[in-house]
Structure 1
Amino acid sequence: MNDIATTPAPVVSVAPIALTAPTRGQDLPIRVSAPTTGRDLPLVVFSHGATLDMDDYAPLTRFWAAHGFVVVQPTHLDSLGLASDDPRAPHIWRIRIDDLTGILDQLDAVEAGVPGLSGRIDREHIAVAGHSWGAQTASTLAGARLLDNGTPGESMADPRVGAAVLLSLPGTGGADLSPMAAEHFPFMSPNFDNMKTPCLIVAGDHDHSPLTVRGPDWFTDGYHLAPGATDLLTLFGAEHGLGGVHGAHDTRTTDESPERVALVQRTTLAYLRTTLGLDDTAWPAARAASQQPRSRWAASIRSEPDRKDSHLMHPNSADHRRAREYIDQQDSARRFHPSTQLTPSPPLPLQPFHHHRSYECAEQQDPARKPSRVAEYPASAMLAQK
Structure 2
Amino acid sequence: MQKIFKHIGTIVFIGFIILSACKQPAKTIKPGEIWLDNNGVHINAHGGGILYHQGTYFWFGEHKIEGKAGNKAYVGVHCYSSDDLCTWKDEGIALSVVEDTTSMIVKGCIVERPKVIYNAKNKQFVMWFHHELKGMAYKAAMTGVAVSDRVTGPYTYLRSVNPNPMCWPIDYADSLKTKDYNFEQVKRWSPQWQEASKQGVFLQRDYKRGQMARDMTLFVDEDGTAYHIHSSEENQTLHVAELNEDYTDFSGRYARVLEGKSNEAPAIFKRGDKYYMISSGCTGWKPNAARSAVANHPFGPWTELGNPCRGTEKEMQTTFQSQSTYVLPVQGAKDSFIYLGDRWTPENAIDGRYIWLPIEFSEDKPVIRWHDEWSLNTFN
More helix by share: 1
TM-score (norm 2): 0.31
Larger Rg: 2
More strand by share: 2
Higher RCO, Cα 8 Å, sep 6+: 1
TM-score (norm 1): 0.30
